[in-house]
Amino acid sequence: MTECDRRSFVLRTGSALAALSLVPELLSAAPRPQGAPVPVGVVGVGRQGRAIIAQLQKIESVKVAAICDVDERRLRSGARRAAGAETFATHAELLDQAKDVQAIFVATPTSEHRRVVEDAVQAGRHVYCEAPIATAVEDCRAIAAASRGSGRVVQAGLQGRSNPIYKLAWSFFRSDAVRDLISMRAQHHQKTTWRAAASEPQRERALNWRLDPERSIGLAGEFGTQQFDVVHWFTGAYPESVQGNGSVRLHDDGREVYDTIQCDLAFPRGVHLQYEATLANSFEGTHEVFFGSNAAIKLAWTAAWMFKEADAPTQGWEVYANRQQFHNDEGITLIAEATKLAEQGKLKEGVRLPHPPLYYAIADFLKSVMEDAEVVCPIDEGVRATIVGIEAHRATVEAGSRPIRLDA
């Protein structure tokens, strides 16, 4: 086969690395500008709120018109990043006075989400709520109840479902490429303190809500919720019980919220997810792995790979796939928009996402608001993932097993 024939074959099959073509509508893209930019507001401009502002500023069809935070220093910092935005001390003032704001991004501490979401929906605003969506099961259900029938777009900020690479991996997982699901493993490893310095005790407590056992759902809730939702989406199933344990392994500074946890989540038909999170070690970062009888798929948020079993059937597209070596294993790199990149001779440049996963979740939300596109992560899925995170956290605190009831 000549080089021209090979190139034509790649384009005809719809992928330089996959048997399944990645159709254009699967790729998340920001809505196109139509008239004046849509004004949006950000409630809570701490670290995550500022990250949201940074991604919104990449999108021409919107402008950050209003921000609010109860902490004056953070509000000033947010104002520097969102030049020209009106500033407010409370979300109630923003909703009452910034009448032109059509959508609200909620990035407050998790325990405060319910009040902001309920008020925003009642005020007729569309809402993007960071995940986990709450710290208590009853608050999760209240948020969902307020959203139903509101006529507003309410999206849970679970980023996996918007991630172009994860969408491609999902299409493989749902094909015969992985086949029988054997087991699952996921981790969030990040060496960091989780503690913010503050000169006043009251401000120190406010900033460090993740370390307050009365307001925090720990590593399983704050980090695990995002990853549990990926598993729910891929498998179409939810765990029935969770066993957990945890301890303080590095940050012995008087904290009660563990810096290291392990969980075993039992899914239907005997499949288990082993989950681990730590603030004491960064090795291998954040990822999820699905082990199947034909292949394993590893997802790492900005990249993904498929590792085929030796006895799995070989398909023609594999000859043209981009590959990476991992010790003794060879992984086929899953690349979004592979056909287009192959045509341009830029396949290897597409190995990682050009934007953070947060960008694609925000873009999908705005497409739902502005173009009436289907909500990628409905609030009900946010409720399920968050409840799993809450119960996993409780299991680690109790060092025991807990049932997970999502239909109560």
Express each pLDDT in 152-164 by its tens digit.
Answer: 999 999 999 999 9
The CATH number for 299's domain is 3.30.360.10
Q: pLDDT digits over 183-235, tens only? A: 999 999 999 999 999 889 999 999 999 999 999 999 999 999 999 999 999 99
pLDDT at 35: 84
Q: How far apart are the first and last CA of the chain?
A: 60
Q: Are residues 58 and 76 in the same domain?
A: yes
pLDDT at 24: 34
pLDDT at 353: 87
Q: Are residues 117 and 176 in the same domain?
A: no
Written as six digits, the tokens of 384 are 């399920």
pLDDT at 337: 59
Say if 22 falls within a structural domain.
no
Written as six digits, the tokens of 253 are 């500074």
Say if 267 falls within a structural domain.
yes
For residue 64, list its beta bridge partners.
40
For residue 115, the enclosing domain spans 28-160
Minimal CA–CA distance to 225: which of 171, 182, 161, 280? 161
Rounded CA gap, 297 and 235, in Å? 13
Length of the chain: 408
Q: Are residues 284 and 310 in the same domain?
A: yes
pLDDT at 319: 63
Rounded CA gap, 341 and 16, in Å? 9
Say if 47 falls within a structural domain.
yes
Say if 235 falls within a structural domain.
yes
Q: Are residues 156 and 171 in the same domain?
A: no
pLDDT at 326: 86
Contact 155, 162 (CB under 8 A): no
Q: Are residues 104 and 197 in the same domain?
A: no
Written as six digits, the tokens of 72 are 């004056």
Instruction: Give the end of a domain, one of 160, 180, 202.
Output: 160
- State how far the alpha carbon of 324 is from the alpha carbons of 179, 226, 239, 305, in Å: 22, 26, 33, 8
Instruction: Give the end of a domain, one of 160, 190, 210.
Output: 160
Written as six digits, the tokens of 258 are 């563990």
For residue 241, list its beta bridge partners.
266, 403
Other Cβ atoms within 10 Å of 185 Cβ, number: 16
Say if 363 falls within a structural domain.
no
Total domains in the chain come to 2
Minimal CA–CA distance to 119: which of 134, 136, 104? 104
Q: Are residues 127 and 216 in the same domain?
A: no
Q: Are residues 182 and 136 in the same domain?
A: no
Rounded CA gap, 40 and 48, in Å? 16
Say if 42 falls within a structural domain.
yes
Q: Are residues 193 and 55 in the same domain?
A: no
Q: Are residues 235 and 186 in the same domain?
A: yes
* Ranges of the chain whose pLDDT falls below 50: 1-28, 341, 343-344, 346-347
Say if 74 falls within a structural domain.
yes
Rounded CA gap, 372 and 254, in Å? 49
Q: Are residues 98 and 192 in the same domain?
A: no
Handedness of CA 125, 131, 135, 137 (dihedral sign): positive
Say if 207 falls within a structural domain.
yes
The CATH number for 33's domain is 3.40.50.720
Handedness of CA 387, 383, 63, 368 (dihedral sign): positive
pLDDT at 6: 33
Instruction: Give the end of a domain, one of 129, 160, 191.
Output: 160
Secondary structure (H, E, C), the chain: CCHHHHHHHHHHHCCCCCCCCCCHHHCCCCCCCCCCCEEEEEECCCHHHHHHHHHHCCCCCEEEEEEECCCHHHHHHHHHHCCCCEEECCHHHHHHHCCCCCEEEECCCHHHHHHHHHHHHHCCCEEEEECCCCCCHHHHHHHHHHHCCCCCCEEEECCHHHCHHHHHHHHHHCCCCCCCEEEEEEEEECCCCCCCCCCCHHHHHHHCHHHCCCCCCHHHHHCHHHHHHHHHHHHCCCCCEEEEEEECCCCCCCCCCCCEEEEEEECHHHCEEEEEEECCCCCCCEEEEEEECCEEEEECCCCEEEEECCCCCCCHHHHHCCEEEECCEEEEECCCCHHHHHHCCCHHHHCCCCCCHHHHHHHHHHHHHHHCCCCCCEHHHHHHHHHHHHHHHHHHHHCCEEECCCCC
pLDDT at 324: 85
Q: Are residues 267 and 391 in the same domain?
A: yes
Q: Are residues 213 and 90 in the same domain?
A: no
pLDDT at 47: 96
